[in-house]
């Protein structure tokens, strides 16, 4: 490494995307994995006329907000940037990033009634994990993740974010051998915390070890907690299972359907939406990007009618299965593209008092126009990316006031933040 590229910096604040901010020779320096209060040697890895990008050469030990991260692959794995950082401080950082984004992108202050809801579990909260794996020449199975910004595997016997059930399964695989062929594979593991006996869905993508696929799957199925294991081709035959239970509703799922990964905090999100819907006397709800009905099934008891729209047909089948199994009478879900449907059915959509929207990371940008024509009284916008939310607020604020913003810390030990913004028509 070129020593000229090394500098000592002091981190003063945090940027969107979780990078620490410092200054060096009149340039702003963005440092990955660094937090305010860190004083550290960093290596400059990119340079532009106005800014530098750098990485920590060691994790600073002199910052009282940090303790040593208890993970063997922490330095290399990009998964939890803030492992070992005081949890309250993590949530303060997330709030300050959100304030900054609101000011700079939405050109609207973060409302003073902003509330950040912490995660009931700060470790082992993920109910879904994708592991990269390798079988070595001796038949030993290794599991882990990609090294940050590369496709090189790094291996571990424990993931601090994965649920206990998933970590037990990782232990099980490490205790087994599967001889026959070296090579790499990918495992998607979904934990179903409410299925008490068998609580795991495991999908095997056996890229380099096709010959071992059958043997490997039968080994996986020997684990007593595995409810279903198979290849992506077999996904159509998977029986639905209960992912979650709340307010006497059973939420079924399937390994190919989107689910919120932090089950505990997802309960809070549903509860707050339901309480607000009641307070605001909303009687009809359109749930856009509805997945398998996570946010709207429980509204059945309080609303006259609820409709959900979602592009993934499998998720819509599960949503309608959930309706039937829970004997809900006034809810239906349709498999459609939101933008196309809204453009075509503006009048049909104008009957709803409120619209819930929970789009993917890219936000609702191009779907905003029909939404503004529909103009419901309230919008409940759930977002997993503050920057795209702020961009959309910039357009929405011409027609809507912001009633309240909540942060939900769905992803402790990382810089990510989920938000719920409630808008009221002007």
Ligand X SMILES: C[S@@+](CC[C@H](N)C(=O)[O-])C[C@H]1O[C@@H](n2cnc3c(N)ncnc32)[C@H](O)[C@@H]1O
Per CB under 6 A, the segment of 68-76, 272-280, 288-296, 372-380 that binds ligand X is: 288-296
Q: Indicate which single residue of 337, 344, 348, 365 sits in contact with ligand X (rule: CB under 6 A).
A: 337
Residue 223's Cβ-side half-sphere holds a number of Cα atoms within 13 Å equal to 26
Per CB under 6 A, the segment of 76-84, 150-158, 237-245, 334-342 that binds ligand X is: 334-342
Name, in order, each residue with C-beta under 8 angstroms of 210's C-beta and a sequence gap of 6 or more: none
> Whose Cβ is closer to ligand X: residue 71's or residue 342's?
342
Residue count of the chain, please give it.
426
- The residues in 349-378 that bind ligand X, with binding defined as CB under 6 A, are 358-360
> CA 208 to CA 368: how far, in whole Å?
43
Per CB under 6 A, the segment of 124-132, 166-174, 240-248, 336-344 that binds ligand X is: 336-344
Q: Read off the tokens for 285.
A: 């709800």
Report how far apart the first and last C-alpha atoms of the chain are (Å, whole number): 58
> Whose Cβ is closer to ligand X: residue 35's or residue 309's?
309
> Whose Cβ is closer to ligand X: residue 93's or residue 273's?
273
Q: Read off the tokens for 53.
A: 């990008």
> CA 265 to CA 260: how far, in whole Å?
9
Least distance to ligand X from the beta carbon of 311, Å? 3
**Per rule CB under 6 A, is residue 343 in the interface with ligand X?**
no
- The residues in 241-270 that bind ligand X, with binding defined as CB under 6 A, are 258-260
Least distance to ligand X from the beta carbon of 192, Å? 15
Q: Indicate which single residue of 34, 135, 170, 295 sits in contact with ligand X (rule: CB under 6 A).
A: 295
Per CB under 6 A, the segment of 29-37, 208-216, 247-255, 285-293 that binds ligand X is: 285-293
> Residue 132 pairs with which residues in a beta bridge?
144, 186
Q: Indicate which single residue of 125, 289, 381, 400 sits in contact with ligand X (rule: CB under 6 A).
A: 289
- Which of the following is catalytic: 77, 159, 349, 384? 384
Q: Read off the tokens for 340.
A: 């196309």
Least distance to ligand X from the beta carbon of 53, Å? 29
Least distance to ligand X from the beta carbon of 100, Å? 23
- 303 classed as catalytic: no
CA angle 233, 237, 243 (to 5 degrees): 105
Q: Residue 40: which of 71, 9, 83 has the closest Cα?
A: 9
Per CB under 6 A, the segment of 77-85, 162-170, 183-191, 309-317 that binds ligand X is: 309-317
Residue nearest to ligand X (CB): 291
Q: Read off the tokens for 43.
A: 């290596």
> Whose Cβ is closer to ligand X: residue 59's or residue 311's?
311
Residues 136-148: b if buried by 16+ CB within 10 A, e if exposed: eeeeebbbbbbbb
> CA 80 to CA 279: how far, in whole Å?
37
Least distance to ligand X from the beta carbon of 384, Å? 6
Q: How far is C-alpha 226 from the chain's CA centre? A: 24
DSSP annotation of 145 reads: E
**Per rule CB under 6 A, is residue 311 in the interface with ligand X?**
yes
Q: Indicate which single residue of 338, 349, 368, 405 sits in contact with ligand X (rule: CB under 6 A).
A: 338
Three-class DSSP category at 292: coil
CA angle 211, 217, 223 (to 5 degrees): 150
> Whose Cβ is closer to ligand X: residue 53's or residue 317's?
317
- The residues in 6-45 that bind ligand X, with binding defined as CB under 6 A, are none
Please spell the DSSP secondary structure of 166-224, one letter per residue: HHHHHHHHHT-B--S--EEEEEEEEE-TT-SS--EEEEEE-TT-GGGHHHHHHHHHTST
- The residues in 134-193 that bind ligand X, with binding defined as CB under 6 A, are none
Least distance to ligand X from the beta carbon of 260, Å? 5
Name the residues annotated as catalytic.
Answer: 384
What does the binding site for ligand X look like in residue numbers (CB under 6 A)? 258-260, 289-291, 294-295, 309-312, 315, 337-339, 358-360
């Amino acid at each position: 490494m070129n020593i000229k590229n090394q500098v000592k910096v002091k981190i003063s604040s945090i940027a969107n995307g979780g990078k620490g901010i410092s200054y060096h020779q009149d340039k702003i320096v963005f440092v990955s994995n660094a937090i305010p209060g860190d004083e550290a040697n960093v290596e400059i890895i990119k340079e532009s006329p106005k800014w530098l990008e750098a990485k920590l050469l060691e994790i600073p030990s002199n910052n009282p907000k940090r303790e040593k991260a208890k993970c063997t692959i922490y330095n290399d794995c990009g998964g939890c940037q803030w492992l070992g950082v005081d949890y309250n401080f993590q949530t303060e950082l997330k709030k300050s990033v959100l304030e900054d984004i609101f000011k700079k992108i939405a050109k609207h202050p973060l409302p003073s009634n902003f509330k950040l809801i912490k995660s009931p579990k700060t470790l082992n909260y993920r109910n879904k994990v994708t592991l990269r794996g390798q079988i070595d020449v001796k038949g030993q199975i290794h599991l882990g993740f990609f090294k940050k910004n590369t496709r090189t595997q790094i291996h571990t016997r424990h993931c601090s974010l994965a649920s206990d059930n998933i970590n037990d399964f990782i232990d099980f695989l490490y205790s087994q051998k599967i001889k026959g062929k070296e090579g790499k594979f990918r495992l998607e593991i979904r934990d179903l915390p409410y299925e008490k006996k068998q609580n795991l869905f495991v999908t095997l993508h056996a890229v380099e070890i096709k010959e071992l696929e059958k043997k490997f799957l039968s080994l996986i199925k020997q684990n007593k907690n595995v409810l279903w294991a198979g290849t992506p081709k077999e996904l159509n035959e998977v029986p639905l299972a209960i992912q979650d239970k709340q307010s006497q509703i059973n939420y079924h799922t399937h390994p190919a359907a989107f689910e919120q990964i932090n089950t505990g905090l997802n309960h809070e999100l549903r509860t707050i939406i339901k309480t607000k819907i009641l307070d605001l006397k909303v009687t009809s709800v359109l749930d856009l990007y509805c997945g398998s009905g996570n946010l709207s099934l429980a509204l059945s008891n309080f609303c006259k009618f609820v409709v959900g729209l979602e592009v993934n047909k499998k998720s819509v089948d599960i949503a309608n299965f959930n309706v039937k199994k829970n004997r809900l009478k006034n809810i239906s879900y349709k498999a459609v593209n939101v933008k196309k449907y809204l453009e075509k059915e503006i009048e049909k959509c104008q009957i709803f008092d409120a619209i819930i929207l929970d789009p993917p990371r890219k936000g609702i940008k191009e779907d905003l126009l029909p939404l503004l024509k529909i103009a419901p009284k309230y919008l409940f916008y759930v977002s997993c990316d503050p920057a795209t939310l702020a961009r959309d607020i910039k357009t929405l604020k011409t027609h809507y006031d912001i009633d309240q913003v909540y942060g939900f810390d769905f992803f402790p030990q990382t810089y990510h933040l989920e938000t719920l913004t409630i808008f009221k028509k002007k």
